[in-house]
Amino acid sequence: MRRWPIFLFLLFLTFEVVAQRGDVVLCEGFFSPWLEEGWDVKGDDWAVWYISNSAFAGCKSRELQMVPDINFSGTTRLVSPVVELHKYDYIYFQFNHFFDACHGNINAIIGVATAQGEDDWTTIWSDTLTGRIDQSRYLLTFDMQEWSSKDVRFCLFYSGEGAYVNSWYIDNVIIFGAKKNKYGKMDESDDDGGFIASLSKIFTLRGPDAGRTTSFSSFRRSKNKFARIVEGRKGRK
């Protein structure tokens, strides 16, 4: 059973909601000891997802933790319930996370994808990682004008080797639906997935860059199609 009113109250007490315009259409803080109805995990069985009592992602405990086996090689996904977005023009996708990478060079990808069916995933944003990501809050903005359907499931995914990562912690996954202004305007998207770099930011909560707000400055295509270059941190070629 969902407890959205209680969760939203706690949410506004515990941290600043970045996207202040729009309706909350999905909100999950992983307060239960198991995944809520409609949430699922897909992909390689060598990766384990579970609710942890920790708070490494920067919110209140509990949070979701992904731990891959050293034999893991592939993609694992945290999948949301179906989200109905037909009355909105664009969305803010917000989440807190901490990516605890192993020492040394890594070549892995995290991202957000959508699907109309069970496994027909389309990547709408991804980042090619070369190391650890300190405790951060990501705010990603998408124009849905070119989307073939607005009733979709979302996923946060990891693609790479199990040896690259100790754990990936995720918390407070929130999607805000919003409409364009009366003139029908908003910033242009950067690609067919609708990602809008100029309206997307990273808020670093801990580590050497704590308190820093980073804008997505540009992007480049890679074998995974939507890898980004973020100010101060570049993806591998």
Domain that holds residue 115: 4-12+23-229
Q: 168 in a domain, yes or no? A: yes
| pLDDT at residue number 82 | 96
Q: 18 in a domain, yes or no? A: no
| pLDDT at residue number 107 | 83
User: For residue 173, what is the domain's CATH number?
Assistant: 2.60.120.200
| pLDDT at residue number 216 | 67
Neighbours of 237 (CB within 10 A): 9
Q: 150 in a domain, yes or no? A: yes
**Residues 136/171/38/52 CA torsion (nearest 10 deg):** 140
Q: 80 in a domain, yes or no? A: yes
Q: How many domains does the chain have?
A: 1
Could you list the pLDDT tens digit for every one of the 237 residues in the chain?
A: 444 454 444 444 334 444 345 799 999 999 999 999 999 999 988 999 999 999 999 888 899 999 999 999 999 999 999 999 999 999 999 999 999 998 777 889 999 999 997 789 999 999 999 888 999 999 999 999 889 899 999 999 999 999 999 999 999 999 999 988 765 666 454 454 578 877 788 888 877 777 777 776 543 333 333 333 233 333 333
In DSSP notation, the chain reads ---HHHHHHHHHHHS--S--SSEEEEEE---SSSPPTT-EEEE-TTEEEEEES--TTSSSS-EEEEEE-TT-EEEEEEEEEEEE-TT-SEEEEEEEEEEEEPSS---EEEEEEEESSSS-EEEEEEEEESS-EEEEEEEEEEE-TT-S-SEEEEEEEEEEEGGGEEEEEEEEEEEEEE---TT---PPPSSTT-B-GGG-EEEE-SSTTTT-EEE--EE---TTS-BEEBTTB----
Q: 141 in a domain, yes or no? A: yes
Provide the whole-model pTM.
0.79
- Radius of gyration of the chain, Cα coordinates, nearest whole angstrom: 17
